[in-house]
Amino acid sequence: MRDTSAYPHINKMFDKIMQAQAMAGEVKRRLDSVTVTGSVEGGKITVTSNANKVVQSIAIDPEFLKEADKDDLEELLVIAFNKAMEQADNVSQSEMAASAKEMFGNLGGLL
């Protein structure tokens, strides 16, 4: 193992990397606990996911299912899924921005 005491900037860099890894793990755990949904046709189809984009459930109104044809159902499922994923992206971006701001400060208003 190399002695890095002569290179204090390297120690600081490694500390920042370790801090960033720990923060990323914490953000992932928080996103696992955030629920987002995408819904279409007034709730006739609802996709529920966590903010890490893991789908938890898909609910389809039984009456709607009886009347819907395959193409309509597939199209609406895609729309509901995409809405849930968009919400997950928004939550994830907010969490990451907040974590970056916490870790690096405001960087002159850039974050």
With beta carbons less than 8 A apart as the criterion, state whether 38 and 84 touch: yes
Q: Domains of the chain (ranges plus CATH)? A: 35-102 (3.30.1310.10)
Which pLDDT belongs to residue 39? 97
With beta carbons less than 8 A apart as the criterion, state whether 19 and 103 touch: yes
Give tens-digit pLDDT for 33-82.
999 999 999 999 999 999 999 999 999 999 999 999 999 999 999 999 99
Contacts of residue 4, Cβ cutoff 8 Å, sequence gap at least 6: 10, 11, 14
Q: In this structure, what token pair is assigned to residue 98?
A: 């907040």
pTM: 0.73
**CB-hemisphere CA count at 13 Å for 103?**
18
* Pairwise CA distance, residues 104 & 16, whole Å: 10
